[in-house]
Amino acid sequence: MDLKDLYRDVIVDHNRHPRNFGKLQPADVHADGHNPLCGDRLTMYANLKGEHITDVKFEGAGCAISVASASLLTEAVKGKTKSEVKELFDDVHALLTQHDATVDPAKLGKLAALSGVREFPARVKCASLCWHTLNAALDRAAEPVTTE
């Protein structure tokens, strides 16, 4: 286990300076996410035009992995359609959990920096919380999501 694989420069940077951080007002959809194990709390906001995500922001507090993952997510999904986002989530999930994941790094762009997380199984939930939360927002789920 190499720590530098987990806390890559991109991750450390996005934790220190999260992009698209704050409340989106007004927001077409939003959802709260909570990881009770470590206390991470995130709210994801998005504006939609038809199937397209025109804007996305997040706020909350959590560990470096959860904050950086949310920040990277916002950069990755802006302009994508809902179904493209779900596809991307599947790829990210494979990247986070499978050693033999055959995900094309080029497709993932900066999100590929999260690949080190799979060496730290206790931290997978930190990285996936924002994705579950955004999905819930897009599904307009009324209930807050939790990764427990």
Residues 6+ apart with CB under 8 A from 98: 118
Q: For residues 85 and 115, which CB has a smaller minimum distance to other proteins in the complex?
A: 115
Write the single-letter amino acid at 141: A
Shortest Å distance, C-beta 116 to other proteins:
11
Shortest Å distance, C-beta 54 to other proteins:
31
Distance between CA 33 and CA 7 in Å, rounded? 23
Query: Could you give the string, one character per residue 99-138, with x where binding to other proteins holds by CB under 8 A and - elsewhere?
Result: ---------------------x-xx--x------------
> Rule CB under 8 A: is residue 42 a binding residue for other proteins?
no
Strands (E), the chain: 29-35, 40-49, 52-61, 145-146
CB atoms within 10 A of CB 62: 22
**The only residue of 27, 28, 32, 41 in contact with other proteins, by rule CB under 8 A:** 41
Give how many residues touch other proteins by CB under 8 A.
Answer: 20
Q: For residues 38 and 48, which CB has a smaller minimum distance to other proteins in the complex?
A: 38
Distance between CA 20 and CA 44 in Å, rounded? 10
The length of the chain in residues reads 148
Kind of pairing, strands 40-49 and 52-61?
A: antiparallel
**The only residue of 39, 109, 121, 144 in contact with other proteins, by rule CB under 8 A:** 39
Interface ranges with other proteins (CB under 8 A): 1, 3, 6-7, 12, 15, 37-41, 61-65, 120, 122-123, 126
